[in-house]
């Protein structure tokens, strides 16, 4: 089974940049999108053989997630309101689906923002999200993917020293990722490539960052640790353009 996750930074914009070609070339069984920045009905997009599931933000042009799947899920999973202040909220950040042998959770994690001004919100989000994932994991394995807005280790970004305590590389956010992995989950890319450097999935539009490969790895597939031995491929498709992120891939047999 092949899965792709991609923060498209505006689906209507990337749709004009060969999105359908990239979609077909990647040929995923399940294709997860984040930051679609769409409201329902703004773009008529469908692919033969795929069902689609969407989560829209109330705020126009903001956030949003979607899943295209040619494996029919059993159901869409309702995300419990574990904390009404933050989760799941009205920002369209999660699509969760149950399949025969696993749960899929596609997520666009809130950014802590400049000066970490949204860090408290982010920490509450992380606690609720971890609780939700653990509840699912108690039933069957979980595949959790998306733009998780954190570079976990120093090797996950080009300039760790100058970015320490910036959004996405604060001790608090990294600590939450450590807690999640310690709760029985595995970073699929690091499972296969524990020491690989200069493997990034996001680059700033400024300072020719992508050209220089001055990036961050903030897009993930995370799985329940008990199925980590079944990981076959974990890849970062930095050859694909159209967004400030590139697609990431997981192939796994469940």
Q: Is 15 a catalytic residue?
A: no
Distance CA 87, CA 84 (A): 6
Q: Is 108 a catalytic residue?
A: yes
Which of the following is catalytic: 56, 99, 137, 147? 147
Which of the following is catalytic: 108, 144, 200, 220? 108
CA distances to 13, 37, 201, 237 from 189, rounded to whole Å, are 28, 27, 12, 12
Q: For 245, which DSSP code?
A: B
Asked whether the beta carbons of 183 and 177 are under 8 A apart, the reply is no
CA within 13 Å, CB half, 103 = 22
The arrangement of strands across the sheet holding 75-76 comes to 75-76, 94-98, 103-108, 142-147, 219-224, 185-187
Catalytic residue numbers read 108, 147
């Amino acid at each position: 089974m092949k899965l792709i996750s991609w923060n498209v930074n505006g689906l209507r914009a990337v749709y004009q940049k060969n999105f359908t070609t990239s979609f077909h070339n990647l040929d995923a069984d399940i294709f997860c999108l984040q930051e679609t920045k769409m409201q329902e009905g703004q773009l008529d997009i469908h692919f033969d053989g795929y069902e689609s599931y969407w989560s829209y933000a109330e705020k126009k042009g903001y956030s949003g997630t979607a899943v295209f799947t040619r494996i029919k899920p059993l159901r869409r999973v309702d995300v419990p309101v574990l904390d009404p202040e933050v989760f799941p909220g009205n920002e369209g950040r999660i699509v969760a689906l149950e399949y025969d042998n696993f749960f899929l959770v596609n997520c666009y994690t809130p950014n802590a923002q400049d000066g970490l001004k949204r860090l408290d919100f982010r920490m509450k989000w992380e606690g609720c999200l971890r609780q939700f994932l653990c509840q699912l994991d108690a039933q069957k394995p979980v595949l959790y993917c998306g733009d998780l807005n954190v570079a976990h280790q120093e090797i996950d970004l080009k300039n760790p020293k100058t970015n320490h305590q910036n959004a996405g590389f604060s001790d608090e956010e990294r600590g939450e990722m450590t807690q999640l992995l310690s709760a029985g989950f595995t970073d699929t890319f690091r499972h296969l490539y524990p020491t690989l450097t200069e493997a990034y999935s996001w680059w700033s539009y400024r300072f020719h960052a992508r050209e220089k490969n001055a990036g961050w790895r903030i897009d993930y597939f995370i799985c329940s640790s008990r199925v980590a031995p079944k990981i076959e491929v974990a890849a970062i498709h930095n050859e694909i353009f159209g967004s400030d992120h590139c697609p990431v891939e997981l192939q796994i047999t469940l």
